[in-house]
Amino acid sequence: MCMELQLGLALPGSDTWSRPLLKLGLYEDINVNRKKRGFDHGYLEDEFSAASFKNYEKGLVGWPPVETWRRKKLRCQVHNHMTAAENGYCGGRASNSSYVKVKMEGVVIARKIDISIHQSFETLTTTIMTMFDIFSHFPFIFGSVEENRRSFKLTYQDKEGDWLIAEDVPWRTFVRSLKCLKLIRSRG
């Protein structure tokens, strides 16, 4: 199983602008239903909000607010991408989505990459390295970009759960059995 840490790790934040800009006497005048919200909770269980979130598991209606005609046009295209992938470019995939999780050794946050737009290990590895900003974060100790690229290895987890080296298998086999990717530093 690919594991991934939650993005919710908070860095100690500074307390900017916590003073209220305006004090309103209305807080006392209007005797409204003022349930204090605990800010450490992302979601609150009020009776009406429970009702309004009743659709949540099924997906909220009209949220996020992307126009219906835009959603339709985009969905048709993502489907086209899949068809292209299945027909020839990448040899087809196990799941419906062509997006695969990518992790890098030592980096907490995982990324995602669209495997269907790649046709070789070279473009795939270069894209992943660009994604993790390797070319700017890791100084070129050895000299050329190519040499530096070789200091990283692309590994992948297949459907059986085994971790393998990507370039050891043909591209089509790799794409068909790929579940998730991990970029690691070459050792020796």
Partner 1 sequence: MLKKMAFSFPDEVLEHVFSFIQSDKDRNAVSMVCKSWYEIERWCRRKVFVGNCYAVSPRMVIRRFPEFRSIELKGKPHFADFNLVPDGWGGYVFPWIAEMAGAYPWLEEIRLKRMVVTDESLELIAKSFKNFKVLVLSSCEGFSTDGLAAIAASCKNLKELDLRDCEVDDLSAHWLSHFPETYTSLVSLNISCLGSDEASFSALERLVRRCTNLKTLRLNRAVPLDKIANILRHAPQLVEFGTGTYTADVRPDVYSDLAGVFSSCKELKSLSGFWDVIPDYLPAIYPVCSKLTSLNLSYATIQSPDLIKLVSHCPNLQRLLVLDYIEDSGLEVLASSCKDLQELRVFPSDPFGAEPNVSLTEQGLVAVSLGCPKLQSVLYFCRRMSNEALVTIARSRPNFTRFRLCIIEPKTADYLTLEPLDVGFGAIVQYCKDLRRLSLSGLLTDRVFEYIGTYAKKLEMLSVAFAGDSDLGLHHVLSGCESLRKLEIRDCPFGDKALLANAAKLETMRSLWMSSCAVSFAACKLLGQKMPRLNVEVIDERGPPDSRPENCPVDKLYIYRSIAGPRFDMPPFVWTMDEDSGLRLS
DSSP string, 110-151: -EEEEGGG--SHHHHHHHHHHHTTHHHHS--SSSSHHHHHHT
d(CA 80, CA 115) in angstroms, rounded, equals 14
The strand pairing partners of 104, in sequence order, are: 183
Residues 1, 3, 5, 16: which binds partner 1 (CB under 8 A)?
16
Quick one: which of 174, 164, 170 has its CA closest to 100?
174
Which 67-96 positions form the footprint of partner 1 (CB under 8 A)? 67-71, 73-74, 77-78, 80-81
Q: How far is the CB of 188 from partner 1 (least distance, A)?
A: 32
- Least distance in angstroms from the C-beta of 64 to partner 1: 5
Contact call for residue 7 and partner 1 (CB under 8 A): yes
The least distance separating partner 1 from the CB of residue 145, rounded to whole angstroms, comes to: 16
65 binds partner 1 (CB under 8 A): yes
Burial class (CB in 10 A: 0-12, 13-18, 19+), 90: buried
Q: Residues binding partner 1: what is the number (CB under 8 A)?
A: 59
49-57, 143-151, 155-163, 172-180 -> range binding partner 1 (CB under 8 A): 49-57
Residue whose tokens read 């919200």: 37
Contact indicator for 143, 165 with CB cutoff of 8 Å? no
Q: Would you tell me which residues interact with partner 1 (CB under 8 A)?
A: 7-8, 10-11, 13-18, 20-22, 24, 26-27, 30, 32-37, 39-40, 42-43, 46, 48-49, 51-53, 59-71, 73-74, 77-78, 80-81, 99, 111-112, 114, 117, 130-131
